[in-house]
Amino acid sequence: MAEGQATAKRSAWSGKWAFILAGAASAVGLGNMWRFPYLAAKFGGGTFLFTYFVLAFTFGISLLLLETALGRHTKLSAIGAFRHFGKRFAWIGILASLVPFIITPYYCIIGGWVFKYFAAYMAGGASALSDGGTYFLGFLYGPTESYAWMLVFMALVFIIVALGVKRGIEKANRVMMPLLLVMALGLAIYVCCQPGALEGLAYYLIPNFAGVDVGGLILNAMGQMFYSLSLAMGIMITYGSYLDSKESLSGSCLAIAGFDLVVSFIAGALIVPAAYLAMGGAPTSAGPSLMFITLPEIFVTMGGAANVIGVVFFLLVLFAALTSAISLTETCVSILCDAFKWTRKRGMIAAFVVVVVVGIFVNLGYNGLGSLRLFGMEILDFFDFVSNSVLMPIVALLTCIAVGWFIRERVTRRTASGEEESVELRGTDVIAEEVRISAPFRAQKAWAVMVKFVAPVLVVVILVWNLIGVFGG
Ligand code: PHE
């Protein structure tokens, strides 16, 4: 199998669009659906939208470009990509590689919940699902059902990844991503056309500065952007490593960030007005309680349309979760194959075993190990905290410091007179050259300043803020 040899014959995208779609598929996930709308409603509507936009297209895009260029330059996933510049950098890659192994199992658990809700709406369960959370908690804490849905979700993800980069991931994205966009848009338009919805839409769009906590606004926007763009966990390094040098990196990264923002924006234009219609105000919760408790209550107020809306909405979220889980799984497989020189098949089996075993352990947090608390958190929340709030900022910081300050690469060049000379490039120049192979890099100076100075500071602020949130009382 051609795609099987991890290093000898590396998997490859069939073109730029496949790469963009895959990056967007990884970026668009649960975060867009259940956190972005809530944050926008909480932090002054348009004020949050504007802040997020600015951060995504400066800070976010810089890191995205850095990671994809690193992958494409080295043609390796995270560990190898860092080791390429010297053994002493390999551990950054190892740390980055831990993240997808931590996230994939619990992401699949949540994917299972989404699947379950999709099936329940298909069976016409709109009114049964809107009972203030009893239904959801009964399912969550039940002894078997949540495991079954988790396994179904995992099986689907692994089947797609097993089909390979072109035949599996690309094809799945090509079907799911456009459908996702159409469903989100359709639902948002439907909701906004209901009498009274415009008030909610205005609340969402119009910048409101009154009472907005500026620190909270910026920190939340930064954290959300970071997670949403799937940065600092090796995914974009791996995906960049499958990209041909002739395809524009900067253009592709812009498209990925743009796609992610558009979906987040539409999710907000759907959820905030819907909450206004049903409850007369913005949503007051995010995460699972918004998705599995509040939204079913909102849907049921839409009368006869409730089941159809539930089906479409949970199918949309299912696609978002599936495509993200696929990117996480592909990264796990790619890391194993590159690290141990395994065939793809072997990497797949090992990744599957790890994900299933860890997934079962995490899910035990809701029944068998229900009383276990790690730093006051349930197991799933703890995994989420370690990966997103601690490891991701640390990896991003180390990446920026390594590339910005320490990495050097010796390359041989031909001078104007035709002689060969050996020059030493700095990390930022290595990346900039990689970007320039396929397109001019006009923002190179600003980008280098971002990577060397601005991003490290911002990332440290996020990290400290996350830690204070949990340990600071
Ligand atoms: N970016 C995804 C989201 O917004 C989450 C994700 C994280 C996906 C890590 C893949 C990897 O939900």
Q: Give per-residue pLDDT as tens, 338-357.
A: 899 999 999 999 999 999 99
Contacts for 214 with CB less than 8 Å, ≥ 6 apart: none
Check if 387 has its Cβ closer than 6 Å to any atom of ligand 1. no
pLDDT attached to residue 7 = 46
pLDDT attached to residue 473 = 60
What is the CA(212)–ligand 1 centre distance, in A?
27
**pLDDT band at residue 4 using 50, 70 and 90 as cut-offs:** very low
pLDDT attached to residue 370 = 79
Contacts for 416 with CB less than 8 Å, ≥ 6 apart: none
What is the CA(30)–ligand 1 centre distance, in A?
7
Distance, CA of 169 to CA of 238 (rounded, Å)? 13
Lookup: tokens for 436: 């320039």
What is the CA(413)–ligand 1 centre distance, in A?
40
pLDDT attached to residue 331 = 94
Helix (H) or strand (E) holding 53: helix 46-55
Q: Which residue type does 434 have?
A: E
Comparing 376 with 322, the larger pLDDT belongs to 322
Check if 226 has its Cβ closer than 6 Å to any atom of ligand 1. no
pLDDT attached to residue 425 = 95
Task: Report the nearest-CA residue for atom 11 of ligand 1.
Answer: 230
**DSSP letters of 255-322?**
HHHHHHHHHHHHHHHHHHHHHHHHHSS-----HHIIIIIIHHHHHHTTGGGHHHHHHHHHHHHHHHHH
Residue 279 vs residues 105, 202, 300, 304, 381: alpha-carbon distances, Å: 34, 16, 12, 18, 28
Check if 235 has its Cβ closer than 6 Å to any atom of ligand 1. yes
Beta bridge partners of 413: 421
What digits encode the pLDDT tens for the residues 387-424? Answer: 988 999 999 999 999 999 999 999 988 888 888 999 99
Task: Report the nearest-CA residue for atom 9 of ligand 1.
Answer: 230
Check if 30 has its Cβ closer than 6 Å to any atom of ligand 1. yes
Look up tokens 């592909």; give the residue.
Answer: 330
Considering the chain, what percentage of its residues have pLDDT values greater than 90? 88
Check if 26 has its Cβ closer than 6 Å to any atom of ligand 1. yes
**Residues for the chain: how many in total?**
473
User: Mean pLDDT for the chain?
Assistant: 94
